Structure 1
């Protein structure tokens, strides 16, 4: 399965939990593992708190402090910070499924991490 999202900023964390859950419900597999993979070198996926949006803001603030946009990068395309941030966050997450539901903690959500937007992005979902 694959879902598509459109990002709206250079860097942002987008809660995709509901989109993934909806894709799982269409698939109809009640139990197993859900593997979420982002096939992009300047984007990633993470699991973190989705109740308070300031957590997302704090994560982006620290990533931007750790990997600033202005530095003597050598990559000619000019998006080295996006590649570095994507490597730090990772490109995949695996979540257990039970009774057709993602087995996330009470405050957890799945976030697409955009680091070189805005763009149209793909997210691959595999169920085993």
Structure 2
């Protein structure tokens, strides 16, 4: 298992980690198999979405804030219930195909770490499963 480190600067943001993931695959010589990316934090998630137009990320963050506001009818005493809900919607992991040493993504797809309770220093776990 390898660990990726991500530092966030805002309470809610999506950080493009595509380059870090591709570098990790190259550094370790992983060729053909599946790469599991997992976030061990209850207020962070991993997703794949469009990375070519930054407005897509902006639209996701802004509209998640509207759908699940920071302050609402929550009982969790830490004040970050919205972050837990958003994380559950996105999910803590992504399984990616690695073929010929390359992470297989669609033309516009990038890999994002989703921060919902930052800013923080986060760690993501990466496990390669060869086939």
TM-score range, shorter chain: over 0.9
What's the Cα RMSD here?
0.6
Match of 1:64 in 2: 65
TM-score by length of 1: 0.98
SS of the residue aligned with 1:77? coil
- Whole-angstrom distance in 1 between the partners of 2:51 and 2:6: 18
- Whole-angstrom distance in 1 between the partners of 2:100 and 2:4: 22
* Large movers: runs of 4+ above 4 Å: none
- Whole-angstrom distance in 2 between the partners of 1:71 and 1:38: 25
Structure 2: runs of 5 or more not aligned: none
- How many residues are aligned here? 128
- Whole-angstrom distance in 2 between the partners of 1:94 and 1:73: 32
TM-score by length of 2: 0.96
- Whole-angstrom distance in 1 between the partners of 2:48 and 2:18: 9
Structure 1: runs of 5 or more not aligned: none
